[in-house]
Amino acid sequence: MSIGRLFVVVFGLLLLASCNRVEGCLEADASNFDPSADKNCCCEYPKLTLQIYPVVGTTSFVKTDTLSDFSGNKYLIEDLHLYLSQFKMTAPNGVSTGVSDSLTLTLEDATGNSYEEKIEDGYVLWDSDNSSYEVGTFRNFAEFSGLEFFVGVDSAINFIPPATFEEEHALYIQEPSMYEENDNSYLFIRAEVQIIGESVPRVYKIYGEEAFKRIEVAYAITGNQSFDTQLELNADVGVMFNSVDFLTNNENIIHQKIVDNLDSVFSKP
């Protein structure tokens, strides 16, 4: 066989081999790991997912439930939204791990010049009508003993208007609005409360640095490689309004009591 013909045969075999290569994810911690693949591509990674169940004590909460405040005044919670952020799982040695997602936003400075800002993602807008949320990509598969997160939006994000974000993002424009235009701030908590005997619901809008609240929950769980880390939480909406007297407390006192109560609202079922 001539050298030229040999070259053509070898080249053809190599070309055939490359055409027959199987594409797939070759990263062992990916949720679509395929050890039979020849060419690495298309990896999808496990998520930190969250189920948050509204409860009152040991029973599930529904909006038709009539509750009593500190002085026995009857009320209904007609709407309740909270921003939750900076989720981290904590190992027994104290090391914390969060989601790895980030966003790159195009912003403008005071002179109108555009610049790009990379920010940590993982925001959840909890609505008492919904329970299932995807926090973000989570690739740590260790033994954990605790969960921590914040109620609210941190100062690095709080000045960025909702329209800046993609439509499906938790910080995008919401209805009812979760952004206070006059103060250029997201609402950390929005509660619509109907006092029995009053004709119009009261709306409590809580935000500001003093309302940015860190929450810690004892949470023992072991992550499994290539699988989502699935968490469940109870959110006791009755506890959120503990010690509140809607008829005698002014709005500032009610806001502060709600923020103070947040430490006891969330628990592992």
What per-residue confidence (pLDDT) applies to 31? 86
What per-residue confidence (pLDDT) applies to 13? 44
What per-residue confidence (pLDDT) applies to 1? 53
Over pLDDT 90: what percentage of the chain? 72
What is the 3-state secondary structure of the chain?
CCHHHHHHHHHHHHHHHHHCCCEEECCCCCCCECCCCCEECCCCCCEEEEEEEEEECCEECCCCCCEECCCCCEEEEEEEEEEEEEEEEECCCCCEEECCCEEEEEEECCCCCEEEEEEECCCEEEECCCCEEEEEECCCCCEEEEEEEEECCCHHHHCCCHHHCCCCCCCCCCCCCCEEHHHCEECCEEEEEEECCCCCCEEEEECCHHHCEEEEEEEEEECCCCCCEEEEEEEEHHHHCCCCCCCCCCHHHHHHHHHHHHHHCEECC
Q: Convert the pLDDT of each residue in 210-246 to its tens digit.
A: 999 999 999 999 988 888 999 999 999 999 999 999 9
For residues 29 and 52, membership in a common domain is answered with no
Mean pLDDT of the 102-116 span: 87
Domain that holds residue 25: 3-40
Q: Convert the pLDDT of each residue in 73-85 to its tens digit.
A: 999 999 999 999 9
Q: Convert the pLDDT of each residue in 2-29 to its tens digit.
A: 555 544 444 444 444 455 568 889 888 8
What per-residue confidence (pLDDT) applies to 16? 45
For residues 127 and 151, membership in a common domain is answered with yes
For residues 131 and 224, membership in a common domain is answered with yes
For residues 139 and 186, membership in a common domain is answered with yes
For residues 33 and 59, membership in a common domain is answered with no
For residues 28 and 107, membership in a common domain is answered with no
